[in-house]
Amino acid sequence: MNFEYNETQAMIAQSIKDFAEKEIRPNIMKWDEEQIFPVELFKKLGEMGYMGVLVPEELGGSGLGYHEYITVVEEISKVDSSIGLSVAAHNSLCTNHILTFANDEQKKKWIPKLATGEWIGAWGLTEHNTGSDAGGMATTAVKDGDEWVINGAKNFITHAISGDVAVVIVRTGEKGDSRGMTAFVIEKGTPGFSSGKKENKLGMRASETAELIFDNCRVSDANRLGEVGEGFIQAMKILDGGRISIGALSLGIAKGAYEAALKYSKERIQFGKPISQFQAIGFKLADMATEIECSELLLHKAAYLKNNNKPMTTAGAMAKMYASEVCVKVATEAIQIHGGYGYTKDFPVEKFFRDSKLCTIGEGTTEIQKLVISRNLLKD
């Protein structure tokens, strides 16, 4: 086992650091407070190859694996996790769904635009009344000749307004039937396809979240991904990889908060010495660093399994569950170390704190991860 960055990872990490310092850090609070989704920033990230990390080079991507992908999301999230979240959603959900389940013609049509950042992608599974219970979705697609007529709405969708294309999973069979759902690709501008309410969120405010609305939206059968009835199974496979994404996002937040707390603890003088020299603070830092290290190891184990096409559902759920809970804990402790200053917007830890909570909710709550892990353990 090699625990060091390989040459590519080291290059990516430095490239992202340089980019983030120049293009992201000066705008963090403006984007957060005004809830600006900086579309042009993602075009630049696309030019650098970070909007198609997992996409083969022949389709316009970087042709990299999950270890490198973790590095990209983590390094961006150490500076601004809102941007990290959008990069993760674009790569692992929309783009990866098409890459994994589309035919060659469909891949050539959509993947190059997504991989280069020319287009921004959205992915729709969740609805107003169905979060963890995706099988109870109400959005339907009814076959009409060579077309499908889609009606309903999707909720909490990243890039629902600004996205150029969306992969959506809708019901084509009976409610509750895991083989009664199908995935479709729908381009912006399709009649009957629109966006709705933008969510006013606690954190991740520069990452756009809104509704997708379908009102007699007609799409060609050529826009169907895979066979009719495979949508839910496809979605679950995509979410396996998505857990690595949210784990990487969590790792970035935790590292960003920890590094800010460590720096502050060395600079803040109380009773004649830096507070880092007090055992109460030193022990907090020790716990934070250890748990971050554990998160990173779990994530890269899941990445190894994913890269080698080995079963990784349990490993991915463990990594996502642990890393997301750690990032909330670390962000909380980072504020505590800052004291009253941590509660102000003059220091970065309050934003890490607000952003962190989504990681225990998005792409499967902590409770759902425990359910996935326990079920797999009991299969043996």
Q: What is the model's pLDDT at position 380?
A: 65
Domain boundaries, the chain: 7-120, 122-229, 233-378
The yes/no answer on whether domain 122-229 falls in CATH 2.40.110.10 is yes
Superfamily (CATH) of domain 233-378: Butyryl-CoA Dehydrogenase, subunit A, domain 3 (1.20.140.10)
* pLDDT one-digit tens code per residue, 113-145: 999 999 999 999 999 988 788 888 999 999 999
The answer to whether 244 and 306 are in contact (CB under 8 A) is yes
- CATH 1.10.540.10 assigned to 7-120: yes
Tens-digit pLDDT profile for residues 310-344: 999 999 999 999 999 999 999 999 999 999 999 99
Q: Could you give the CA distance from residue 377 to residue 206 in angstroms, rounded to a whole number?
A: 38
Task: Name 46's bridge partners.
Answer: none
What's the pLDDT at 293? 98
pLDDT of 152 over the 70 cut: yes
**Mean pLDDT, range 230-234, rounded to an integer:** 96
| Contact of 327 with 253, CB cutoff 8 Å | yes
This prediction has a pTM of 0.96
Active site residues per annotation: 363
**Predicted pLDDT of residue 4:** 87
248 close to 299: Cβ distance less than 8 angstroms: yes
Instruction: Identify the pLDDT of residue 175.
Output: 87
Q: Give the number of other Cβ atoms within 10 Å of residue 340's Cβ.
A: 7
Q: Name residue, tokens 């020299």.
A: 277
